[in-house]
Structure formats: C-alpha cells, structure tokens
Amino acid sequence: MTAMRGSGQRGWQETGADAALALVLLGFALLATGLAGDNQPGSRPVDAACRVLIAVAALALVARRRAPVATLGVVTAATTTYLVIGYPYGPILLTFLIAVYTVAVRLPVRPAALATGGAFVLLLTHAFWSRGPAPGWAGVLPASAWVVVPFAVGTVVRVNREATARSRAEEARSRVEQARRQADEERLRIAQEVHDVVGHGLAAISMQAEIALHLLPKRPEQAETALTAISRTSREALDELRVTLGAVRRGAERGPVPGLARLPALRDRLAGTGLAVELRVVGEPRELPAAVDLAAYRVVQEALTNVLRHAGVASAEVTVDYRADELTVEVTDRGTGVRGAGPDPADDGTGGHGLAGMRERIDALGGRLAVGQRTDGGGFRVYARLPVKAPA
C-alpha cells in the first residue's frame, strides 16, 4: 500500500513537471514565433491556426512520460502540418525535439527507433510539399538533426540509467549476501560457544556424578563433595550460557568473556572430577586481544574436556607460553584414547565438532593448530600457536 501510494505521488509529480514544461514552451513559442517569421521572408504570417498548432504540440508534452509514442505522434502531426502550411521555422521544433528525446529515454532501442523513424519520414513531408519555401533535398540534413541528436542523447541517458539501476541492484544483492554471511558466521560462533560451555560442563558433571554414585553406598560423606562440585559446575556453566544467549537476544556483543586468567579456576573445577591438571606459565603474562585470549582458553578447555572423556588418565599438563610476537598453548596427557586425529597430527579432518571448532577458531586468527598422538611416551597432544602483536 505504501509503495503504491509512493508510486502514485511520484506519477503526479512527474505529470506536474511535464505540465509546467508544456506551459513554458507554449508561452515561449507564442512570443518567439512571430519574431522568427520576421527573419524568414516568404513564410506564412502567424495567425490563429498557427497558434492552435503550436498549442497542440506544446500541450501534448503533458502526457510524454505516460504515453511517449502517442505524444510523439501528436507532436509530429502538429509540427508537420505547421511546416507544410508554410509557417516559419521556430520554437515548435523544440517540442518535437523533446518528444523524440522522451521516446528514446522511455523505450528500448528497437521500438524507439521505429517510432522515431516514422516521425522523421512524416516531418520530411514539408521539405518537398509546402505552401511556403520548400527546401527540397537540402532540408533533409537539417531535419535529420532534429531527430538524430535527441534520439542519441536519449538513448545514452537510458543506457546510463539502466547501468546505474543494475549496479545498485547488484550492490543491494551484495549487501544482502554479506548480511546473510555475517548472520551465518555469528550463528556458527554462538553455536561453538554453546558447545564449548555445555560440552565442558556436562563432561565435568558426568564424571563427578559417576564418582558420587561410586562413593554413595560406601562413603556417603565423600559423595557429598562430588555432589557439591556438580552443583558448582552446573551453576557456572549455566551462568556462562546465560551470558552467551543473552547477548544473542540483545543482538549485541558479549560483555567480559573467558580468558587465560580463568585457567586456575578451570584447573580447580576439574580437580573435583579427579583430573589433576598441572598448569605451567612461561614468559611474562600480559594483556592479550580479547579474541586471542578467548580462543586460547577455549582450546585448553576443549582439550581438557577430551582428556576427561576419553583419555582414561588422572592427570594432564597445560603449558602457556607468552612469546614476543605469539602465544602458544599446549595440553598433553599420557592416556590411550584416540580423540579424532588423523594419521597426520596436524590434520584433524576426521575429528569431532570440538576439534573442528578449535581449528576454526585458530585459523580465523591466523594461527596454527596441531593435534594428535604423542610420539614420546604415548598419550595425546594439542598445540596451538596464535600470533600476537609484540608489546610496545
């Protein structure tokens, strides 16, 4: 409804502009035709019939955008009659020029050329049959100029408009496609965040629940510790999940995100599941870009979750190395479980969603991820390198 109202309003505006143009041309032609006749001996004096033909040609331009071919026909007929009668060459030809231009602008080349060619043939009538001076073949070239020039200009304008419209349409499609890609990327990012939060939390809760079930019949007082750890882990996971989903609902960036500073808390949480994590820090810890800090934390979190699920061991080692222009994190264990690595430790193509998510995070930041079996003493190794701008 709004589009129809806007289109109708635009149509009335165009008609109003065309009416104003017609009135201006009419006034100018009525004033200037007599002056043109004074300089053209042998032409027929301006009379009532002359003024009527001028008025018909000028006022026909009111409909030039709605009916360009019909307008050209009326203007051509009036102009040809005017010239055949022998009235002087004058402003009436301007109305013919505008009518030809309008057809070239509004119609495709072929129908515009056919309509304009017919108008040209009709206009040439006065060159051979006229009550005034008949220029003959000498009048063909001047007459063609009143057709060829406006037709060429109108065609160029139409082609440029169409090219501009196509360019704008392509830009609009490009913006829509870019917005769709950004939305898809954001959904994947959120899915990965939810996977990391829920996957780690459920793995820890599952391990703690098994411990509690094992201890409950024999040592119920120790089972209480495991149940307390379950409560704490689930509460922390829910809080982080609530923050992530809250950001999605608001359509805004999340607030504070997990980082390497939370590794001690992660270590303590996993200790409650029976997994002892040895945490080593090499180099001087410093503030990192938020994306790098989060990616490094998630790699450690996912790797330790896999140790908890698959390794069958009670310990793991985490090493964080702050270097001048990069950060490396390494998680190793001496378990026997195979966690999705292919024959090449650096190729995780057959891995699960967790390892694939690690690689996507690292690749997006220009880093490198290597996962696979350890060659010395068995077990599994996850190693990530992330470029970091050197501190000033």
Taking only the tens place, the pLDDT of each residue in 300-353 is 988 888 887 776 777 889 999 999 899 999 999 887 655 443 333 333 333 345
Percent of the chain's residues with pLDDT above 70: 74
Cα 78–81–87 angle (5° rounding)?
105
What is the predicted pLDDT for the residue at 104?
94
Find where tokens 């060459």 sit.
89
Strand partners for 317? 278, 332
Find where tokens 């599941």 sit.
273
Instruction: List the domain boundaries for the chain.
Output: 2-134, 258-392
Q: How confident is the model at residue 97 (pLDDT cuts 50, 70, 90)?
A: very high
Lowest mean pLDDT across 92-106, 176-190, 237-251, 360-374:
237-251
The chain-wide mean pLDDT, for the chain, equals: 80
What is the predicted pLDDT for the residue at 226?
66
Cα 25–138–102 angle (5° rounding)?
35
Lowest mean pLDDT across 33-37, 164-168, 230-234:
230-234
| Structure token digits, residue 389 | 């701008």
Q: What SS3 state is found at 332?
A: strand
Residue 369, phi then psi, degrees to nearest 5: -125, 135
Is the model more confident about 281 or about 6? 281
Q: Are 127 and 83 in contact (CB under 8 A)?
A: no
For domain 258-392, which CATH number applies: 3.30.300.130, 3.40.50.300, 1.10.150.120, 3.30.565.10? 3.30.565.10
